[in-house]
Every structure is written in C-alpha cells, then in structure tokens.
C-alpha cells in the first residue's frame, strides 16, 4: 500500500508507523477531555491525510463524516467546524508546550487548513545538548492567538527557572520603559481606555495584527480561519454596536456589527519591518432606505498614519458604492514609527469617523501580497504551496460546487467551484500596476450535469475591469476546446480606479457569466 505524508511525499513504512503512533499518543493523552467532537475530528483528518494524501478536506466532509451532521449541513451558515478546529489548535499547542514537549514529531494545523502537518523538531537533552536538529516541515505557527505554537527545548528544571526569572525581569523592564515613553508623549487630554489590558504599553506585537474595532469578546474567527482579536491599542472614541443587517461584499458580516466611533486613534506596537495595512468600513447610517438620511459626503473624515495624511476627506459610503456594503482600503510599504508603534489618527470633518476593523500583515517591498480567491467554502493550497482563500469582495451571482475531473492543469481542484450569473468584484489594491489572472473551466455545458448537451455558443459573456474590456463575447467551451478543460486568461498593466479598486464585472450575453478562481499580483 502507498502511504502519503504531508505535501504528498510517499512515506516509508517506518515513517508511516511513526506518524500513526504520534496520532495514537495524542488521542490517548486525554488532552481532549470529554470533548468527543475534538477527538473525532482529529482522528478523522489525520487518518484521511495518512491514507489518501494531503488534499485539504472541506468543512462539509468533516461535519457530515466526522461529526455525523445531516446532509443538509451548510458551512456558510454554520461555523461549527471552524470553531472546533480553533479549539483543536489550542489543545495541541498546550499539549506540545507541556506533556508533549520532548516529542520529536509534532502535529499542527495551519490557520485556514484542515490538513495536518507532521513537523519534526530538534531534540534537546536535559543537559541542553542538541542531539539532532532537522529542519521543520512547513511554515511558522499561527499568529495572533497567544503564545507561539513552536515548543521550547526541554532543559533541566533549575536552568529553566533561571531563564523564566530572567525573562520576567526583562519583560518588566521593557514594559516599564515603554510605559514611561507612552506617558511622556505630548497628547494632552487623551486617555487610554482600560477596556483592553494589552493597551499601548505592550512592547511588541505579533507580525500579524487583526483588530475587530468595538468588539469586546475574546476573539472572532473569520470565514477563512483568520483570528480577529478584540478592540485594543486605542485612545478615545467609543464603541458602537450596529444593527444586524445584510452586509454586501463580505463573507464576514459579523466583523461589521461593531465599530470604534468618534475622534480616536490607535497606537499599535510592531516589530521593525514592512507591512500592509488594511482598513475595513461599512457605512450603515447614511444612505437611501430604512429612513436613513443623507448620501455621499454626509460623512467625511481624515485618517493619518504616523503623522502623515493617509486618507483625506474619506467618504466610506462613496467608497463602497452604497450603504451596508463592506469596503476596504489597502496600503503597502507601511512601517512603525521610531518609537515602535504604528499611529493611526481618525479626525472629524463633518461627521464622526469610524472604523470596523484593522488588519496589519507582513508586506513585500513596493508590492502588495497577491490576492488569490477560489469559489469554494474553504482555503485551498495549490501545488506551488500558494494559499487561495474563499471568494470575497463580490456582489451578485451564485456560488456552487461540482465534482468533475478538469484536464490541462496541475491543480484540477482549483476548479471545483464557480460563481455564475451577473456579478462583479471590487478588489482593493494600492497604487501601481497589476496582473490579473482569471481561471475558467466549463463544468456544465457538454458535461454530465447537462447530459452532454450544449457546446460552442451555449455560454457567452463579457468581462470588464474599471470599464476597460478584458473579454468580449467570451465562450469558455470554445476557447478551452471543450468541457472540463482548464483555461487561464492573463491581463497585464491594470491600474486601480480613483477609489483604489480593481472593479471586475462579469456581464452575461447568453446564459450566465462564470469564473472559477481569480488571482491578482503586483507588477
């Protein structure tokens, strides 16, 4: 029998037994306690990975096959699997920091992925001598959720006590120094809210920071598995809970149900480096309908970054194109100020500023991180180890999944889902030129789903970017040479509009427009 390891490597029988044994040891350790759901999920995904290879499982498969949910289970309406996986990651982290500290092989799950990684780590003797130190498999541990998942080497208890005391002393000194510098900042009348114990006094933050503004619970797990922490690092303003409404162009409407409001600022501790800054807004007061008043220009405010104007006379209603619509502003080449903080100031012009969420992620010099989206409910990792997130930024159309073999590609699973109908995307980018790739495969006409009927001319549509024609009378079947054939259309030198968006429109000519995946890269 062929055995599969992480990343598709064929396992020797010895390695297979070793990984299987680690699964057994974790299950028998008692870390899941009375939570049978966690144990069932853990065993199911590990068994599937070891027997069938690393293909990422869907939330639907895990819910119906591991948890016994009914066939009508809808992962877009039920976050049970995402919540259980968050608990599973926390349990494994705690286990490998304590009881499983000296295990040479450890099992981890990356955020947004339901496929386990078997990570080999250095073994350190009680005398502190490394006996072997192979390179770990896979990426860095999950960020923004407490302590690092990477375990520390086991040393003698006396030596560890010395390290702990020294580390605590250093932390106290650093926090005291940071606090004194914070108190010395010339900000008369400002007060740091006591609602976030981390506050601006923190010395450093994780490389990824996600803040759900106005949110007071422990954390929020987004649709792509990203962890959003509660509101913190702010000064002044107040929180506001917003009515539950349908929010367009987002798969995370809960992120827009709270905000920080008024005249306020954020002072976010960051390590030196280059970052991307993402600011999220949805105007829910001004605009037509529901007895709301005003329209464009009803709310204007300024945002500055480290003392420099970032957005002037910003109008979230105009930026989104309407009320109850999520919009995002993205900025590249962002760095903390000399004091180690990223300072964001929100100033009023004619109505109080607000922000729903703030995201800071590691950046690329002069470029944005690529946008990769699939029309599927879960993240997908391609053969080049790129992560594709579930589709977002869209309005209109309908998403569906199909089981069909797609030829002409190394990543046939990339085409498992599609958006069809009359729809568009508002992709937020910074200034610059971009390459856009659109991924297509005709999975309906000429296939078993349409009993082999249809063919050339069955589906025809146009695609535009900021009013520029990208595809005219486009026929996937004709261009690809048949059904179930992968087709990629690439467009270079595209620039955002004045609102910082690449507006992609898919307009039907005959039947429905269609797309399977979208990729955007800085040039």
Tell me: the pLDDT tens digits for 142-171? 323 333 333 333 334 444 555 555 566 655
Mean pLDDT of 317-322: 95
- Residue pair 475/508 in contact (Cβ under 8 Å)? The answer is no
Looking at the structure, tell me whether residues 21 and 82 fall in a common domain: yes
Whether residue 137 is contained in a domain is answered as: no
| Sequence-separated (6 or more) residues with CB below 8 Å from residue 195 | 216, 231
CA distance 111 to 149: 12
pLDDT for position 110: 78
- Of 362, 387, 402, which residue sits at a domain end? 362
Whether residue 354 is contained in a domain is answered as: yes
Whether residue 416 is contained in a domain is answered as: yes
- Of 132, 148, 167, which residue sits at a domain end? 132
pLDDT for position 90: 83
408 confidence band (pLDDT: 50, 70, 90): very high
Using DSSP bridges, classify how beta strands 327-334 and 275-281 pair: parallel, antiparallel or unpaired: antiparallel
Looking at the structure, tell me whether residues 76 and 124 fall in a common domain: yes
Looking at the structure, tell me whether residues 23 and 111 fall in a common domain: yes
End-to-end CA distance of the chain, in Å?
A: 46
- Residue pair 192/235 in contact (Cβ under 8 Å)? The answer is yes
Looking at the structure, tell me whether residues 356 and 403 fall in a common domain: no
Looking at the structure, tell me whether residues 306 and 227 fall in a common domain: yes
- Least confident range of 15-24, 101-110, 182-191, 320-329: 182-191
Looking at the structure, tell me whether residues 303 and 247 fall in a common domain: yes
Domain count, the chain: 3
- On the question of pLDDT at 205 being above 50, the answer is no
pLDDT for position 331: 97
- Of 362, 389, 405, which residue sits at a domain end? 362
The overall average pLDDT reported for the chain is: 82
Whether residue 118 is contained in a domain is answered as: yes
Looking at the structure, tell me whether residues 460 and 378 fall in a common domain: yes
Report which listed range, 66-80, 283-297, 375-389, is most confident.
375-389
Domain that holds residue 89: 3-132
Mean pLDDT of 86-106: 86
pLDDT for position 347: 97
CA distance 212 to 357: 5
pLDDT for position 407: 94
* CATH (domain of 305): 2.60.120.430
Looking at the structure, tell me whether residues 352 and 403 fall in a common domain: no
Which H or E run includes 180? Answer: helix 157-184
Looking at the structure, tell me whether residues 285 and 402 fall in a common domain: no
CA distance 288 to 322: 8
Which H or E run includes 344? Answer: strand 341-348
- On the question of pLDDT at 203 being above 80, the answer is no
Q: Is pLDDT larger for residue 205 or for residue 98? A: 98
Looking at the structure, tell me whether residues 269 and 412 fall in a common domain: no
Whether residue 297 is contained in a domain is answered as: yes
Whether residue 190 is contained in a domain is answered as: no
3-class SS letters over 243-263? CCCCCECCCCHHHHCEEEEEE
Q: What is the DSSP letter of 497?
A: -
Looking at the structure, tell me whether residues 398 and 354 fall in a common domain: no
Whether residue 498 is contained in a domain is answered as: yes
Tell me: the pLDDT tens digits for 243-301? 788 999 999 999 999 999 999 999 999 999 999 999 999 999 998 876 778 899 999 99
- Residue pair 269/182 in contact (Cβ under 8 Å)? The answer is no
- Residue pair 279/303 in contact (Cβ under 8 Å)? The answer is yes
Looking at the structure, tell me whether residues 219 and 317 fall in a common domain: yes
173 confidence band (pLDDT: 50, 70, 90): low
- Residue pair 256/280 in contact (Cβ under 8 Å)? The answer is yes
CA distance 347 to 307: 12
Handedness of CA 178, 179, 181, 185 (dihedral sign): positive
Whether residue 165 is contained in a domain is answered as: no
* Greatest CA separation for the chain: 77
Q: Is 165 helix (H, G, I), strand (E, B) or coil?
A: helix
The radius of gyration of the chain's CA atoms, rounded to the nearest angstrom, is: 25
pTM tops 0.75: no
């Amino acid at each position: 029998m062929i055995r599969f390891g992480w990343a598709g490597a064929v396992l020797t029988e010895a390695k297979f037994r070793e990984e299987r044994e680690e699964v057994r040891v974790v299950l028998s350790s008692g870390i899941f306690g009375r939570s049978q759901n966690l144990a069932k999920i853990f065993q199911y995904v590990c068994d599937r990975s070891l027997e069938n290879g690393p293909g990422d499982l869907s939330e639907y498969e895990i819910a119906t096959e591991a948890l016994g949910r009914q066939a009508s289970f809808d992962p877009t309406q039920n976050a049970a699997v995402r919540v259980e996986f968050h608990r599973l990651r926390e349990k494994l982290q705690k286990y490998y920091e304590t009881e499983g500290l000296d295990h040479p092989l450890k099992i981890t799950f990356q955020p947004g992925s339901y496929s386990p990684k078997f990570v080999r780590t250095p073994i350190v003797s009680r005398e502190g001598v490394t006996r072997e130190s192979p390179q770990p498999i896979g990426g860095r541990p999950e960020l923004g959720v407490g302590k690092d998942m990477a375990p520390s080497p086991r040393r003698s208890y006396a030596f560890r006590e010395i390290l702990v005391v020294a580390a605590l002393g250093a932390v106290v000194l650093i926090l005291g120094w940071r606090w004194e510098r914070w108190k010395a900042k010339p900000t008369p009348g400002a007060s740091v809210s006591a609602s976030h114990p981390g506050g601006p006094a923190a010395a450093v933050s994780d490389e990824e920071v996600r803040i759900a503004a106005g949110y007071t619970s422990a954390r929020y797990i987004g649709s792509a598995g990203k962890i959003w922490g509660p509101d913190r690092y702010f000064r002044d303003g107040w929180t506001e809970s917003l009515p539950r409404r349908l929010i367009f162009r987002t798969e995370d409407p809960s992120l827009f149900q709270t905000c920080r409001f008024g005249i306020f600022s954020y002072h976010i501790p960051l390590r030196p480096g280059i970052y991307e800054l993402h600011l999220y807004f949805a105007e829910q007061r001004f605009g037509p309908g529901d007895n709301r008043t005003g329209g464009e220009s009803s709310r204007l405010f300024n945002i500055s970054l480290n003392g420099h104007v970032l957005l002037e006379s910003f109008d979230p209603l105009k930026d989104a194109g309407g009320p109850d619509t999520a919009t995002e502003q993205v900025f590249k080449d962002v760095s903390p100020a000399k004091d180690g903080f990223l300072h964001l100031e929100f100033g009023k012009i004619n109505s109080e500023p607000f922000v729903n969420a703030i995201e800071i992620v590691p950046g690329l010099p002069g470029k944005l991180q690529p946008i990769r989206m699939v029309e599927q409910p879960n993240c997908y990792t391609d053969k080049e180890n790129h992560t594709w997130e579930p589709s977002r930024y869209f309005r209109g159309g309908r998403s569906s999944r199909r089981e069909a073999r797609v030829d002409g590609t190394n990543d046939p699973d990339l085409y498992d889902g599609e958006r069809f109908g009359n729809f568009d995307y508002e992709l937020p980018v910074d200034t610059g030129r971009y390459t856009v790739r659109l991924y297509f495969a005709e999975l309906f006409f000429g296939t078993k789903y349409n009993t082999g009927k249809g063919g050339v001319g069955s589906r025809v549509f146009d695609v535009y970017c900021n009013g520029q024609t990208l595809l005219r009378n486009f026929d996937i079947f004709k261009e690809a040479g048949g059904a179930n054939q992968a087709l990629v259309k690439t467009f270079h030198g595209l620039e955002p509009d004045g609102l910082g968006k690449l507006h992609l429109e898919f307009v039907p000519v005959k039947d429905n427009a269609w797309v399977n995946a979208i990729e955007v890269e800085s040039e």
